């Protein structure tokens, strides 16, 4: 077995539920401690939010969603089906309860607590990716600045204030304002309407689907088993083992189990002491050809659209739709992204879209993920990262694996305890 030897008294076997970036990272780092792992998923590797996201590894933009202006914006968005933040009319009492809790956390005090809780994950996220790629994960991470574009310098003030607040909370984000010829050089797709920009250094991007599949390949090469089509319906903890049953009646057991099922996390963890609700904030993406190569990722904060170089074209991702995680793709949300970004970018062939996709980001009301032990012996959870599951996935796996094998909660995970 690669990596460190298993700590005496720690688990010999583990079952991880969820074959996305968080679950596979947890499995990989458990293997690094000598634990035999089996990963199960009801669908396939990268079948959820790990495939179609923007692919950003962005510690500089992993900013809590519960910022006060989002509440004001969200109230207006309820009346506008084309708004980037959208809540379709629903009788889902659980969703409205969640949104009420989310609104209660849209204060600067709650935002700062969320920022401090996420800070250790953001500080160490790049190092965790480097550990993976230097030890067998055959997929690159590409270093590049992210350029945020605005029509006027005044529009940039909101992002600049958030970045300053992050640094005041202990972050180390390097950023600067850009304009004129430098802006056109860094973002050649920017249209004539763009008059200001903010460049964030020290960021990266990847092809998220390819990276997650490469991570799965590495887990297999290190002796792990990945079983797809295994839809867990029940979890039964015992004294020295945890048994999982699928909807078809199959059983699988390990000394410990980890639920890393993203927006579906509460289905299995709610009755195990995890009271923090995790709901689907669904994001949409598609791929479009461009007249010129796209040198670096571009962010359009005012319309909440992220654009990334992707297989010789441009992946465009955006919107936050509070809807059931298994609901069908709503083509109107794709059209809303196109309408909001069309006039801000030149040389983009919006009508030649491919790879239209929707995926459920796992969102918590307080802006903090849930990572750690549940009230059930041997059962752990990892999820609730919101829009930053890709950025924080590998470091989450590394820290949680440390907790599982040592029995000690890392300091970095105290603020994101699932039982808070």
Q: Measure CA of the first residue to CA of the last residue in the chain; give whole Å.
A: 35
Token digits for 181?
């010829």
pLDDT tens sequence across 144-183: 999 999 999 999 999 999 899 899 888 889 999 999 999 9
Residue indicated by tokens 């990963």: 39
Backbone phi, psi, residue 232, to 5°: -70, 130
Distance from C-alpha of 16 to C-alpha of 40, rounded to nearest angstrom: 6
Confidence of residue 2 (pLDDT cuts 50, 70, 90): very low
Confidence of residue 92 (pLDDT cuts 50, 70, 90): confident
List, edge to edge, every strand of the sheet that includes 56-57: 56-57, 204-205, 142-143
pLDDT tens sequence across 265-316: 999 999 999 999 999 999 999 999 999 999 999 999 999 999 999 999 999 9
- Report the 3 state secondary structure along the chain: CCCCCCCCCCCCEEEEECCCHHHHHHHHHHHHCCCEEEEEECCCCCCCCCCCCCCEECCCCCCCCCCHHHHHHHHHHCCCCCCCEECCCCCCHHHHHHHHHHHHCCCHHHHHHHHHHHHHHHHHHHHHHHHHHHCCCCCCCEECCEEEEECCHHHHHHHHHHHHHHHHCCCCCCEEEECHHHHHHHCCCECCCCCEEEEECCCEECCHHHHHHHHHHHHHHCCCEEEECCCEEEEEECCCCEEEEECCCCEEEECEEEECCHHHHHHHHHHHCCCCCCEEEEEEEEEECECCCCCCCEEECCCCEEEEEECCEEEEEEEEEECCCCCCCCHHHHHHHHHHHHHHECCECHHHCEEEEEEEEEECCCCCCEEEECCCCCEEEEECCHHHHHHHHHHHHHHHHHHHHHCCCCHHHHHHCCCC
Distance from C-alpha of 283 to C-alpha of 164, rounded to nearest angstrom: 27
Confidence at residue 93, expressed as pLDDT on a 0 to 100 scale: 85
The answer, yes or no, to whether residue 67 has pLDDT greater than 90, is no
Confidence at residue 82, expressed as pLDDT on a 0 to 100 scale: 66
Confidence of residue 362 (pLDDT cuts 50, 70, 90): very high
Instruction: Say what percent of the chain tops pLDDT 70.
Output: 93
| CA-to-CA separations, 175 to 162, 195, 369, in angstroms, rounded | 12, 17, 26
The answer, yes or no, to whether residue 5 has pLDDT greater than 50, is no
Contact in structure between 262 and 18 (CB atoms under 8 Å):
yes
Give the residues across from 86 on adjacent strands: 321
Four-CA torsion 280, 417, 21, 267, nearest 10 degrees: -40
Confidence of residue 76 (pLDDT cuts 50, 70, 90): low
More confident residue, 110 or 71: 110
């Amino acid at each position: 077995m690669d990596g460190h030897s298993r700590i005496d008294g720690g688990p010999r076997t583990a079952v991880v539920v969820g074959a996305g970036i968080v679950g596979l990272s947890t499995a990989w780092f458990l293997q690094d401690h000598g634990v035999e792992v089996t990963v199960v998923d009801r669908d396939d590797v990268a079948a959820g939010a790990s495939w179609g996201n923007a692919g950003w590894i962005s510690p500089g933009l992993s900013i809590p969603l519960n910022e006060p202006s989002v509440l004001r914006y969200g109230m207006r968005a309820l009346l506008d089906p084309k708004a980037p933040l959208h809540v379709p009319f629903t009788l889902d009492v659980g969703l409205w309860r969640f949104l009420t809790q989310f609104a209660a956390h849209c204060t600067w005090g709650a935002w700062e607590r969320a920022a401090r809780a996420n800070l250790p994950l953001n500080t160490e996220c790049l190092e965790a990716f480097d550990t993976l790629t230097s030890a067998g994960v055959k997929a690159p991470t590409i270093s590049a600045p992210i350029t945020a574009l605005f029509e006027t310098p005044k529009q940039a003030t909101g992002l600049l204030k958030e970045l300053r607040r992050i640094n005041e909370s202990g972050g180390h984000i390097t950023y600067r304002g850009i304009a004129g010829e430098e802006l056109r050089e860094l973002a050649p797709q920017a249209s004539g309407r763009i008059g200001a920009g903010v460049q964030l250094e020290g960021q990266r991007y990847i092809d998220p689907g390819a990276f997650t599949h490469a991570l799965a390949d590495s887990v297999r090469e290190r002796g792990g088993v990945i079983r797809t089509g295994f839809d867990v319906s029940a979890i039964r903890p015992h004294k020295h083992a945890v048994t999982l049953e699928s909807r078809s009646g199959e059983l699988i057991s390990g000394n410990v189990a980890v639920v890393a099922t993203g927006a579906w996390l509460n289905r299995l963890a709610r009755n195990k002491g995890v009271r923090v609700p995790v709901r689907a904030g669904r994001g949409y993406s598609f791929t479009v050809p461009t007249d010129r190569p796209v040198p670096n990722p571009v962010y359009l904060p005012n319309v909440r659209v992220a654009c990334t170089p992707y297989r010789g074209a441009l992946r465009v991702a955006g919107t936050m739709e509070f809807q059931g995680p298994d609901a069908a793709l709503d083509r109107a949300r794709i059209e809303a992204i196109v309408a909001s970004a069309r006039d801000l970018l030149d040389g983009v062939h919006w009508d030649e879209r491919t790879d239209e996709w929707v995926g459920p980001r796992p969102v918590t009301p307080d802006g903090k993920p849930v990572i750690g032990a549940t009230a059930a012996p041997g059962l752990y959870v990892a999820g609730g990262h919101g829009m930053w599951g890709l950025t924080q996935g590998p470091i989450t796996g590394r820290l949680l694996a440390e907790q599982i094998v040592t029995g000690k909660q890392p300091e970095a995970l105290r603020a994101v305890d699932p039982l808070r």
